């Protein structure tokens, strides 16, 4: 047998364990640099709102060079601000913006959930809360009914706003110049033959929604499915979300659709009140 063949023959067999070898430890799936950044941010407690490089390094047990690079990076991302006089760092505006976003969602969840539970009981249908992101709606709350529907099953799902009742309620609340700027050059995709795909027709529909205070979607996003939605206002009166009821078109149509719309408008007003909105007296 040639030496090359012998080598191939040996390598083809079952590999032998190396005596005394230490099994490799499983790799940590978490990023060490991100964990260090989180420790840095948490170091800025209520009592210590401003920290220097040396103080931070000592407090969380990292080298000064690592602390300096981490602080500089976080400052570049506006998560920290550096005082030009003292050189010390403090929490940046971006963190406050993120905190406000979390607080707003938590407030909405707390305000909406008991109202959604009652709305589901009164209508017997699935209920949602959605927020607007450009020309899409993002569903942030969802309560199932005992009726099975061929729609999404998770919070966080996105849909084009123009083919949902929640989306129409939210789009109708935008200032007209903002709405038209967002629609400029945008293609209104069709999900069914009943989807509104013409910009002029959509603007007319949104005008109707604004006048009556609620929106409908009759098989525009999904054949066999209808919904009604109404806007939810925050403490300053600005529309921040929409609540909707979703059901089979055989149940949610005609008089039943209008009855559901009245209940949705009522629920939206209650949620708005729980968020601190006070409707102006007439």
What is the C-alpha to C-alpha distance for residues 141 and 113, in angstroms, rounded to an integer?
8
Q: What is the CATH number of domain 32-91?
A: 1.10.10.10
**CA distance linking residue 107 with residue 27, whole number of Å:** 39
Which value, in Å, is the radius of gyration of the alpha carbons in the chain?
28
Contact, 166 vs 158, CB < 8 A?
A: no
pTM for this entry? 0.64
CA distance 47 to 49: 6
Integer Cα distance of 6 and 17 in angstroms: 20
Phi, psi at 215, each rounded to 5°: -125, 155
The rounded distance, in Å, linking the Cα atoms of 61 and 55 is 10
Locate the domains of the chain by residue range.
32-91, 101-274
Containing H/E element for 254? helix 254-274
Question: Please, what is the angle between helix 64-76 and helix 32-42, to 10°?
Answer: 80
Could you read off the pLDDT tens digit of each residue along the chain, which spans 282 residues? 444 444 444 444 444 444 444 455 455 555 778 888 888 888 886 566 788 999 889 988 999 999 999 999 998 888 888 888 888 998 877 776 666 555 555 588 888 989 999 999 899 899 999 999 889 998 888 888 776 665 655 677 889 999 999 999 999 999 999 999 999 989 999 999 999 999 999 999 999 999 999 999 999 998 999 999 999 999 889 999 999 999 999 998 899 999 999 999 999 999 999 888 887 764
32-91 and 101-274, same CATH topology: no
- Whether domain 101-274 has CATH 3.30.1330.10: the reply is no
């Amino acid at each position: 047998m040639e030496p090359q063949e012998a080598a191939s023959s040996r390598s083809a067999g079952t590999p032998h364990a190396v005596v005394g070898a230490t099994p490799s430890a499983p790799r940590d799936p978490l990023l060490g640099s991100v964990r260090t950044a989180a420790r840095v941010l948490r170091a800025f407690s209520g009592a210590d709102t401003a920290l220097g490089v040396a103080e931070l390094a000592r407090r969380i047990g990292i080298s000064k060079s690592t602390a300096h690079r981490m602080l500089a990076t976080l400052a570049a991302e506006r998560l920290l601000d550096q005082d030009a006089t003292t050189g010390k760092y403090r929490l940046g505006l971006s963190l406050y913006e993120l905190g406000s976003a979390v607080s707003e969602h938590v407030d909405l969840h707390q305000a909406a959930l008991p109202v959604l539970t009652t709305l589901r009981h009164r209508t017997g249908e699935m209920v949602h809360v959605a927020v607007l992101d450009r020309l899409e709606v993002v569903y942030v709350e969802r309560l199932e009914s005992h009726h099975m529907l061929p729609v999404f099953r998770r919070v966080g799902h996105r849909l084009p706003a123009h083919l949902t009742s929640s989306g129409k309620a939210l789009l109708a609340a935008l200032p007209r110049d903002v709405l038209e700027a967002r629609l400029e050059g945008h293609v209104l995709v069709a999900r069914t033959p009943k989807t509104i795909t013409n910009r002029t027709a959509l603007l007319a529909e949104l005008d109707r929604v604004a006048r009556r205070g609620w929106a409908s979607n009759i098989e525009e996003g999904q054949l066999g499915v209808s919904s009604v939605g109404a806007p939810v206002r925050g403490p300053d009166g600005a529309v921040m979300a929409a609540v909707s009821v979703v059901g089979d078109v055989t149940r949610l149509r005609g008089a039943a659709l209008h009855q559901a719309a009245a209940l949705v408008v009522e629920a939206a007003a209650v949620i708005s009140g729980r968020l601190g909105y006070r409707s102006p007296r007439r």
